[in-house]
Structure 1
Amino acid sequence: MSDWLVAILLGIVEGVTEFLPVSSTGHLVLATELLGFRAEDWAVFNIAIQPGAILAIVALYWRTFWAVAVGLTRWEANSVAFVRNLLIAFVPAVVLGLAFADQIDALLENATVVAWALIAGGIGILVVERLARTHNVLGIAGVTVGQSVKIGLVQCLAMVPGVSRSGATIMGAMSLGIDRRTAADFSFFLALPTLTGATVLQLFKHRDAITADGMGLIAIGFVTAFLVALAVVKAFLAVVTRHGFAPFAWYRIVAGAVALIWLYGR
């Protein structure tokens, strides 16, 4: 299979899974292995195409970004709280990401870790869905500083591939009493600084190994992820509103089990 076709397929996987609580990174690692390639050879690519999916959030929520930007120029309380909460939640990922960068890189090459994390995360989602007692919060600006810190800390669990950044932040928020929609929105917007920072760090660390062909493949995956994510986000919110997160939990458990059987049996 040609590299450009692999780039398209991985871009589709990224676009479909980035905002679902199923772990986009974990799926990219498993997809790379399934296609017959070494996960470590595509680790930088898998990180670098994530902002493509993130750009879809900017496109879909541009009115929100514009309103916040205008509000900041007037120092409106809601806009200030919106940005403050996201920055606070972003800080733990920066600190731990820089401190454990090498260990995180090693995990990105381990498909078995991904499979077990998928199963564990699925069980965690089922537990939170059953036990969490949530109440409506007035959007991201209505989240408290303490809740933002805790969501940021929970997000760091997603440094283990297979855990799911969106899954960790959404379930973490719900366990703190935040309603599903606000939890999902918080996760969407928190992805912007988190994944952009991770991409910049990876590209800088591996800058000497990235060739012109490599950048071309990243561009293909980036655009593919963007287009696919545009369609997925709205569908995701519709499913969550009607059925909650349980369908994604059961998918994780089944996918993780199948992956383990395949990994140990190949």
Structure 2
Amino acid sequence: MASILAEFLKVVFLGIVEGITEWLPISSTGHMLLVDQFLQINASESFKEMFFVIIQLGAIFAVVILFWNKMFPFQWSDKNRPFLIKETFLIWIKVVIACVPGAIVTILFDDYIDARFQTPGVIAAALIFYGAAFILIENWNKKRIPAVTKIADINYRTAFIIGLFQVLSIIPGTSRSGATIIGALLVGISRTTAAEFTFFMAVPVMFGLSAIKILKFGLSFTGEELFILVSGMAVAFAVSLLVIKLLMSYIKKHDFKVFGWYRIILGILVFLYFSVR
């Protein structure tokens, strides 16, 4: 009984970490892999590799619920008949365009990255590099007025450029949301719009990655494995509901530099810890 409780508490902690870090530009995968160095769940390596991706679906369901009115491309008329919202439909077309580069790179190089780059050194380097990038970009942006302040005003070319930046997130420690936001800020998109576009992109990206991981692992879960998956996703979902609201409120008045400094400090600590082990 004690061992079951201990495993459950580990999964709850991992769910909390995922729920906090999925939407902040600080790398959820990097944090999960680092936490796994100290707090390992009792499961096979292949299951954990899949779990660190699937748990993110809990966070994705949270953003779908919070942004349902903006994301769902249909409404019902007075006669209870559905009709297409053109603006929302076009946003999804742009999201698909933005997801194409990442989808291609993930399909081609996912196994290679998993085998060679999921190390503390790589995670620390990515944390520091993109932390510095956030600070430099935000300092540069002080002199600029955002060219795009509504997600519907993002054009197809800009969406594709943002998608190219998201390719960077295949390296652990980069952050999918962080890479997307950096790309969006560089091309003149406001912070809140950059965050919203990140939320839109997260839905197909994470469902796609989850499908790949599940197919690689197989559909034969033990009762304990299924319990770990469901519990982790549920906690990530609940925590994400709060974190998304706090993030959107924060960036209306503040920039992303605090996350840049956090990344740099954490990256340095990771380097120091694993260099003296």
> TM-score, structure 2 length as denominator?
0.89
Quick one: which of 167, 176, 182 aligns to 2:178? Answer: 167
Letter in 2 for 1:69: F
Farther-moved stretch of structure 1 (35-44 vs 232-241): 35-44
Residue 216 of structure 1: aligned partner: 227
The answer on 1:249 being equivalent to 2:260 is yes
Quickly say closer, same or farther: Cα 1:237–1:76, change in 2 above 3 A. closer
Residue 15 of structure 1: aligned partner: 19
The answer on 1:151 being equivalent to 2:162 is yes
Residue 79 of structure 2: aligned partner: none
- Following superposition, the deviation at residue 45 of structure 1 comes to 0.9
Decide whether the 8 Å contact of 1:43 with 1:108 is kept in 2: no
Decide whether the 8 Å contact of 2:25 with 2:178 is kept in 1: yes
Letter in 1 for 2:92: V
Residue 65 of structure 2: aligned partner: 59
Decide whether the 8 Å contact of 2:59 with 2:237 is kept in 1: yes
Percent identity, aligned pairs only? 36
Flag structure 2 segments of 5+ consecutive residues without an equivalent.
77-81
- Following superposition, the deviation at residue 76 of structure 1 comes to 4.6
Decide whether the 8 Å contact of 2:131 with 2:260 is kept in 1: yes
Residue 95 of structure 1: aligned partner: 104
Decide whether the 8 Å contact of 2:158 with 2:187 is kept in 1: yes
Residue 118 of structure 1: aligned partner: 127
Alpha-carbon distance in 2 for matches of 1:36, 1:62: 35
Residue 74 of structure 2: aligned partner: 69
Residue 37 of structure 2: aligned partner: 33
Alpha-carbon distance in 2 for matches of 1:135, 1:249: 20
Farther-moved stretch of structure 1 (18-27 vs 77-86): 77-86
Aligned length: 264
Decide whether the 8 Å contact of 2:15 with 2:235 is kept in 1: yes
- Following superposition, the deviation at residue 64 of structure 1 comes to 1.5
1:125-148 CA distance string (max 9 Å, x none)? 111112233425252221010000
* Structure with more helix by fraction: 1
Decide whether the 8 Å contact of 2:57 with 2:206 is kept in 1: yes
Alpha-carbon distance in 2 for matches of 1:209, 1:156: 31
Quickly say closer, same or farther: Cα 1:157–1:182, change in 2 above 3 A. same
Decide whether the 8 Å contact of 1:26 with 1:161 is kept in 2: yes
Alpha-carbon distance in 2 for matches of 1:105, 1:207: 18
Alpha-carbon distance in 2 for matches of 1:40, 1:126: 36
The DSSP-based 3-state class of the residue aligned with 1:244 is: coil
Runs of 4+ in 1 over 4 A off after TM superposition: 36-41, 73-76
> TM-score, structure 1 length as denominator?
0.92
Larger CA Rg, structure 1 vs 2: 2
Alpha-carbon distance in 2 for matches of 1:19, 1:57: 9
Residue 200 of structure 2: aligned partner: 189
Describe how 1:203-242 pairs up with structure 2 within 5 A: 203-207=214-218, 210-242=221-253
Quickly say closer, same or farther: Cα 1:150–1:50, change in 2 above 3 A. same
Farther-moved stretch of structure 1 (256-265 vs 75-84): 75-84
Quickly say closer, same or farther: Cα 1:193–1:204, change in 2 above 3 A. same
Quickly say closer, same or farther: Cα 1:44–1:134, change in 2 above 3 A. farther
Flag structure 1 segments of 5+ consecutive residues without an equivalent.
none
- Following superposition, the deviation at residue 21 of structure 1 comes to 0.5
